Structure 1
Amino acid sequence: MEEIRERLLYLHRVPPLTRRMIYKVMTYDESLLSFFSFTPSEISQLLKIPIKKANVIFTWLKDVDKLEAAINRDQKTCTILTIFDEQYPPLLKNIQDAPLVLYTLGDTSLSKHVPSISVIGTRNPSKTAPNKLLHIVGPLLQKNWLVVSGLAYGVDSLAHQLALQYNRKTISILGSGFDHIYPKRNIPLFKDIVRNGLVISEYPPNIAPKRYHFPERNRIISGISKATLVIEATEKSGTLITVEQALDQGKEVYAVPGSPYIPQTVGCHKMIQDGAKLVMCANDVLEDW
């Protein structure tokens, strides 16, 4: 198993290889061994990609020393978990399209903490959002619940900050590598979470944020806990992507209602109409638990 794990780490560091491609390689050969001896033509046929791209992958696979150097460099600054490792988050392992490799900073045991809840919402919260968090999430924190969120502006940041104010643990899921924290204004918050919680990314430390990374990381935010709580969301909020992921994963979804006159509550009201549980206080969550 250790050899398979090592090969997976190599493949994960090959830039042209996507997660879905690696899954396809694993389906073809669980040991991941034969792929390293493939010709460009064989790579092209297996992955259904142009020969030009297959040539790039072939070149990377032949330079194992370069891949090993990158992995060794990463291991000096963070803990790397693969889907084969015992420390890998158990709830995350069972979701569709689970991340194959995770890079972590902080206390990795927190990914198994029970109970936990993902708290998400708009990047432009209303003035009442902090009070909503205090009213609903505060009592959960007092009962030693762990909060998961995404370090984004708005509700994500407020959720992490509230957990830290209560001297409780929190997990942040990033859409970039650790060398490129986004948004930059949250670097101090990132450092606080590393010291008092756990930060997770499926991207190697040197990978800068890309637009598509954030919808991708949302499946991890919802997947790593049993329930997702939406504090505020506009009608077309990116928060809805996380909610869809949570529902696809069979997770509970809670939504906080609010004034019909502000745009930050429209998304929550639509979620409730579509079947999300209306939450007015922490007991609404605790009763389900």
Structure 2
Amino acid sequence: MLYCRNRLIHMHRCRGITRKKLNLFLQVDPTLQSIYALSPTELQNKFLFTRKQAENFYQDLHHPMLLQQMKQDLATYKVITIKDENYPKLLKYINDPPLVLYAKGKLEFLSHQPAISIVGTRMPSNEGKHKTEKIVQPLIEKDFMIVSGMAKGIDRFAHEAALKYNGKTIAVLGAGFQHIYPKQNRQLFEEIVKKGLLLSEYPPHIPPAKHQFPERNRIISGLSYGTLVVEAMERSGTLITVGQALDQGREVFAMPGSILDPKTKGCHQLIQDGAKLVYEAKDILEDWDRIGKFLYSSIEYKK
């Protein structure tokens, strides 16, 4: 099993590969060993690669430097695959779960419940930080874990509030650990390493790219029983996380604000569409007692 695990981590790092292709590999050969013997033409014919994809994947798969880099990362970082016992169960049953996760910090947080994701605009109002703290502090007192994306604005406020009140927090990054983004969050990054958990689907050397941030949102929502939007514009990237949460069958919460502030318009739209209005942490705690515990117990039953 260990060898299969390392093969999965190895292939995950190769150019030309997708999660869909890796899942297909695992269906055809759970050990992944036979994939190493295939030529680019065989990869193209058996698994519907384009010629370029097949050549890139083949070259990387047999490149000694990539294998050496992987071994160095395995010695430096904690790496979890979907085949591992400590892979988070809530995440395992979403559509398109990540096959490999890189981690720094307290790995035991992956099994902690309850957890809620808190997200919002990168350009919050003057009240944004106070609104976030007002919700986070009572949740921390009830041992909720706070999950967010370590972006500017509401994400940052959520992590900082969790740390301030000695709570648990997970930051899901849109790049590898060697590329802290945004750069002004370096101190927060280091603090989460010591007191919380950092996760990334991307190998440590992968720099940030525009498409990676919407992609990582499914992990933020997938780790949590529900997602709270503190502030969001009418056309906000935050709403991508909301869409992921809904697709995953998770709860969606939204905080109201002034009708004169465009930074709250996205929240008001969510409330109109059926998201639960959150005025104080009690609104989330009540929902957890009514619905959230059932979600966790149903996931436990699946194992």
TM range (shorter): over 0.9
Q: 1:27 maps to what in 2? A: 27
1:209 maps onto 2:203 in alignment: no
Question: Residue in 2 aligned with 1:197?
Answer: 196
Q: 1:133 to 1:232 in 2, by over 3 A?
A: same
Q: How does 1:131-210 map to 2 (within 5 A)?
A: 131-210=130-209
State the distance in 2 between where 1:10 and 1:99 align: 14
Shift of 1:60: 2.1
Give CA deviations for 1:238-270 in whole Å, capped at 9, x if unaligned.
Answer: 000000000000001100011111111110111
d(CA) in 2 for partners of 1:26 and 1:227? 31
**Alpha-carbon distance in structure 1 between the residues aligned to 2:90 and 2:53:** 34
Partner secondary structure for residue 68 of structure 2: helix
Counterparts of 1:201-240 in structure 2, within 5 Å, are 201-240=200-239
RMSD (Å) for aligned C-alpha atoms = 1.2
* Paired position in structure 2 for 1:3: 3
CA contact (8 A) 2:15 2:56 kept: no
Q: Distance in 2 between matches of 1:194 and 1:203?
A: 17
Write out aligned runs for 1:101-112 (5 A). Answer: 101-112=100-111
How far apart are residue 155 of structure 1 and its match?
Answer: 0.0
| Distance in structure 2 (CA, Å) of the matches to 1:261 and 1:42 | 60
Counterpart for residue 120 of structure 1? 119
Matched to 1:60, the amino acid is D
Aligned position for 1:44:
44
Secondary structure of 2:170's match? strand
**Which consecutive residues of structure 1, in runs of 5 or more, have no partner in the other structure?**
none
> Is 1:258 matched with 2:261?
no
By how many angstroms is 1:186 displaced? 0.3
In the TM superposition, residue 132 of structure 1 has moved relative to its aligned partner by: 1.1
Count of aligned positions: 288
Unpaired segments ≥5 residues, structure 2: 289-303
CA distance in 1, matches of 2:249, 2:240: 14
Q: How far off is 1:86 after superposition? A: 1.0
Report SS of the residue matched to 1:102. Answer: strand
- 1:269 aligns with 268
C-alpha distance after superposition, 1:35-93 (max 9, x if no partner): 11112112112332322331222222233x43431221112321011011111111111
Aligned to 1:16: 16
TM-score, with length taken from structure 2 = 0.92
Give, as a single letter, the amino acid of the residue that structure 2 aligns with 1:102.
Answer: L
- The 8 Å contact of residues 15 and 53 in structure 2, kept in 1 or not, is answered as no
Name the SS for the 1:76 alignment partner.
Answer: helix
Query: Which residue number corresponds to residue 297 of structure 2?
Result: none
Matched residue type, 2:27 = T
Contact 2:105–2:193 under 8 Å retained in 1: yes
C-alpha deviations, 1:76-125, integer Å up to 9, x for none? 32101101111111111111100000000000110111111100000011
Deviates more, 1:44-53 or 1:180-189: 44-53
Aligned to 1:209, the other structure's residue is in SS state coil
Distance 2:173 2:46 in 1: 31
- Residues 134/60 of structure 1: CA separation in 2 closer, same or farther (3 Å cut): closer
User: With structure 1 as the length reference, what TM-score do the two structures score?
Assistant: 0.96
Structure 2 counterpart SS, 1:84: coil
Provide the C-alpha distance between the structure 2 equivalents of 1:16 and 1:242, rounded to a whole number of angstroms. 26
Give the Cα–Cα distance (whole angstroms) in 1 for the partners of residues 27 and 283 of structure 2.
42
SS in 1 for 2:76: coil
Q: Cα gap change, 1:156/1:35 in structure 2, threshold over 3 Å: closer, same or farther?
A: same
Q: Given the alignment of the two structures, is residue 54 of structure 1 paired with residue 51 of structure 2, yes or no? A: no
Stretches of 4+ aligned residues off by more than 4 angstroms: none
Partners of 1:50 and 1:139 lie apart in 2 by: 52
